[in-house]
A = this chain, B = another copy of it.
Amino acid sequence: MGGASVSAPGRVDTRVEMGGVTLRNPVLTASGTFGYGAEFAPFFDLRRIGGLVAKSLTLEPRSGNPPARIAETPSGMLNAIGLENVGVDAFVAEKLPALPEGVPVIASVFETEVDRYAEVCKRLTGVPRVSGLELNASCPHVKSGGIEFGQNARLLATLVRAARRASSLPLWVKLSPNVTDVAEMARVCEGEGADAVSLINTLQALDVDLATRRPVLHNVLGGLSGPAIRPVALRMVWQAARAVAIPICGIGGIVTGEDAVKFLLCGARAVQVGTANYLNPLAALEVAQGIERWAGEHGFPRLADLVGRLEASREGSS
């Protein structure tokens, strides 16, 4: 039970150093689930979470897929947005200035070719408000780009190498869960100089609308997210954490502080809240508060002491 010495949440040291970025607390918001940030300003002070990862950016603006783009599934949702975004230049010119000072912003990058990826990384480098980059090498619903990079070790290596050369910013790589061996992909990223890996992106999935006998999504295939995928995400984070030394950002189905603590125990140094932001615009803040409360109540004055502390010896684990 871990001596439940109830100490005031305020007494917990929540700071984490995450692949070259220092965060007030380990809770970020996941790319594509938090808009460009300003949309949440009516609900809470963004400076109270660790940081935000913005919607993935491409070189030019992209307009995304026709409807239907989303659908509900058991304890989850499917999406095929098609990576609609304002493009890297508009992000820098219009979106970043709209954010309050003091919120670390990680810019997520997506493109269809290595050199275009590199170009987006270049344009984001040196921009005052950008604290780091997250390469989205794992978009499961766009034919070109993402899926090949994230699912093929050689391609992934090429991509990370190019991005590493293109930018001096802290470089995170977001991994696809649609692979046989996620640990191998994490090793590839570490080998090419990535500062951290984020996982997981959505699981490639499909659902059918029986009324029309068509896929529910116009794009046919989509990405599954939400609580349904949490156990798969925890498994992959645990496997990646045992494979690499660089820090890991855990993502997948996090709704509460307790969910997030599970990711820390499996080896994630920070987490990202995704789908939960839609159901509850205060989700990220409540997750951050929930982690702090849990740590305080269970006698962990420093969150860093929770990272990777899963007791995974077979003996007596039952």
* Residue ranges of A at the interface with B (Cβ–Cβ < 8 Å): 1-2, 66-68, 73-76, 78, 151, 178-181, 203-208, 210-215, 217-222, 224, 226-232, 234-235, 238, 253, 258, 261-262, 265-266, 294, 309-312, 314, 317-318
Top 3 A-B residue pairs of the complex, sorted by shortest distance between their CB atoms: A205-B231, A75-B75, A74-B227
Once bound together, how far apart are the Cα atoms of A184 and B214, in whole Å? 25
**Highest count of chain B CB atoms <10 Å: which of A206, A211, A265, A314:** A206
**Are B215 and A73 in contact, CB atoms less than 8 angstroms apart?**
no
**Roughly how many angstroms separate A227 CA and B253 CA in the complex, as a whole number?**
15
- A selection of 27 A-B contacts at a CB cut-off of 8 Å is A1-B211, A68-B318, A73-B231, A74-B230, A76-B228, A151-B180, A179-B180, A180-B180, A203-B232, A204-B232, A205-B232, A205-B235, A206-B234, A206-B238, A206-B266, A208-B310, A210-B261, A210-B294, A212-B317, A213-B309, A213-B310, A213-B311, A214-B312, A214-B317, A215-B310, A220-B317, A228-B228
B262 x A208 contact (CB < 8 A): yes
Q: How far, in Å, is A75 (CB) from chain B's closest CB? A: 4
A224 to B203, CA, bound (A): 13
CB neighbours (8 Å) of A224 from chain B are 231-232
A221: which B residues are within 8 A, CB to CB?
235
CB distance A208 to B234 under 8 Å? yes
Minimum CB–CB distance for A69 against chain B, Å: 9
A181 contacts which chain B residues (CB < 8 A)? 151
Contact B210 A78 (CB under 8 A): no
Task: Return chain B residues, CB-CB under 8 Å to A210.
Answer: 258, 261-262, 294
Within 8 Å CB of A203, what residues of B?
231-232
A206-B228 contact in complex given A312-B214, A317-B218, C-beta closer than 8 Å: no
Residue of B nearest to A4 (CB): B211
- Look across to chain B and name the residue whose beta carbon is closest to the beta carbon of A153: B180
**Chain B minimum-CB-distance residue to A238:** B206
What chain B residues lie within 8 Å of A234 (beta carbons)?
205-208
Measured between beta carbons, the chain B residues less than 8 angstroms from A232 are 203-205, 224
Q: Complex: how many Å from CA A253 to CA B211? A: 20
Given contact pairs A204-B235, A234-B205, A212 touches B311 in the complex (Cβ within 8 A) = yes
**A266 contacts which chain B residues (CB < 8 A)?**
206, 208
Besides A218-B318, A219-B314, 11 new A-B residue pairs in contact (Cβ under 8 A), listed by A number: A2-B213, A67-B318, A74-B76, A74-B227, A75-B227, A205-B231, A205-B232, A208-B310, A214-B310, A215-B310, A218-B317
| CA distance in complex: A235, B311 (Å) | 35
Are B213 and A235 within 8 A (Cβ)? no
Residues of B near A1 (CB, < 8 A) are: 211-212
Residues of B within 8 A of A317 (CB): 212, 214-215, 217-218, 220
User: How distant is the Cα of A211 from the Cα of B4 in the complex, in angstroms?
Assistant: 10
* Cβ contact within 8 Å between A215 and B312: yes
